[in-house]
Amino acid sequence: MTDKQQEQDPAVFLSQRYFTPVFFEKLAANGIRPNNEQEAMQLLQLGAILDQAATAQAATPGEGNPFLDHAIKNAAALAGEPTQPTQEVNDAELLKQAAAVVAEDEESKQAALAYLQAVASAE
């Protein structure tokens, strides 16, 4: 890791290196592409909000999530009809692939380990 990268928060490094490109690839697979930098930032912000909502929903299993219900209804209305993902995602397989990629890149491996240590010490 370079001095500059060592100073950078591991979560930011991993986000910029892996999350953001994968996020936009998944959106593109569903026909969603930002037209400019502002739209890209808005999509990232929406993704973060939805991730937080999903995390909150996972913490209270069995209960509906009003935010997601509202978002789905409005998105369907804007699109004119409900949309379906173009492909199912196998989370276990994606996790294996991501781990293999991170393990091959020493900088990413070190950032992932630092991030995991920070998360473990925060708990």
As a whole number of angstroms, the distance between CA 90 and CA 102 comes to 18
* pLDDT at residue 2, as a whole number: 56
Overall pTM > 0.75: no
> Which of these, 42, 9, 3, 2, lies nearest to 114 by C-alpha position?
9
**In a structure prediction context, what are the per-residue pLDDT tens digits for the chain, which is 123 residues long?**
455 555 568 888 888 888 898 889 988 998 999 999 999 999 988 888 877 777 766 666 666 666 667 777 777 777 776 555 544 556 666 667 777 777 777 887 777 777 777 777 766
Over the range 83-104, which residues count as b (16 or more CB within 10 Å of their CB) and which as e? eeeeeeeeeeeeeeeeeeebee
Q: Report the pLDDT value the prediction gives residue 86, as an integer from 0 to 100.
A: 43
